[in-house]
């Protein structure tokens, strides 16, 4: 009985805390309505967060990533990534398709993955963008998405440290406690 009462007290405390100090929510930038031209060009990858380490593990071996976003054809975005791993560079390209009735991007070859843009205002950075990737559970009996991560990008590689700190803090409020921040100690690959 005491455990049950304590459980209710903790639950009510959690609700009260959320009412007093609610988590801020980022602003969605629906790709079917935004001016895509303003997002073309170079972007520096700064950090990633998730509920699980597995979703961000591949970033932990990297020193830096520079992305270039282009629009080679109408309703198609090409994202080229230049990744530094130790002394080596690795390049990769992703093709995204835009659909007029959807607010997300479709990654070519992975139609089940949802890819959303969020405003950098969430981290008080006008020259930042947050990119979310998530995929539905692998099996119908699973209750958790098979992939779920948010990634912070900026136009400059040397944004104020408070931007990344704010990203990590706001994400932690949403229980995304697994995080990685790229060190950017070596020259960027191009």
Output the pLDDT for position 136: 78
Output the pLDDT for position 1: 52
CA 91 remoteness from chain centre: 20
How does strand 105-107 pair with strand 88-98? antiparallel
Q: What is the mean pLDDT of each run of 10 residues along the chain (190 residues)?
A: 45 47 87 86 97 94 97 92 96 94 92 92 96 81 76 95 96 95 95
Delimit the domains of the chain by residue range: 25-181
CATH number 2.40.170.20 given to 25-181: no
Output the pLDDT for position 46: 97
Output the pLDDT for position 138: 67
From residue 96, give the alpha-carbon distance in Å to each of 33, 66, 79, 114, 120.
16, 18, 8, 11, 21
Cα separation, 111 vs 2, in Å, equals 50
Output the pLDDT for position 10: 41
């Amino acid at each position: 009985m005491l455990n049950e009462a304590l459980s209710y007290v903790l639950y009510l405390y959690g609700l009260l805390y959320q009412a007093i100090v609610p988590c801020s929510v980022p602003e969605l930038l629906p790709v079917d309505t935004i001016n895509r031209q303003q997002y073309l060009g170079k972007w520096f990858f700064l950090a990633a967060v998730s509920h699980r380490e597995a979703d961000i593990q591949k970033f932990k071996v990297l020193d830096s990533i520079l992305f270039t976003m282009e629009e080679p054809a109408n309703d198609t975005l090409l994202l080229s990534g230049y990744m530094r791993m130790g002394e080596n560079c690795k390049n990769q390209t992703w093709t995204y398709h835009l659909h007029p009735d959807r607010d997300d991007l479709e990654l070519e070859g992975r139609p089940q993955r949802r890819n959303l843009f969020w405003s950098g205002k969430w981290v008080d950075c006008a020259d930042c963008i947050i990119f979310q990737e998530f995929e539905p559970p692998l099996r119908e009996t699973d209750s958790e998405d098979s992939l779920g991560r948010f990634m912070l990008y900026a136009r400059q590689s040397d944004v104020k440290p408070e931007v990344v700190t704010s990203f990590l803090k706001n994400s932690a409020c949403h229980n995304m406690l697994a995080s990685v921040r790229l060190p950017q100690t070596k020259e960027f690959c191009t």
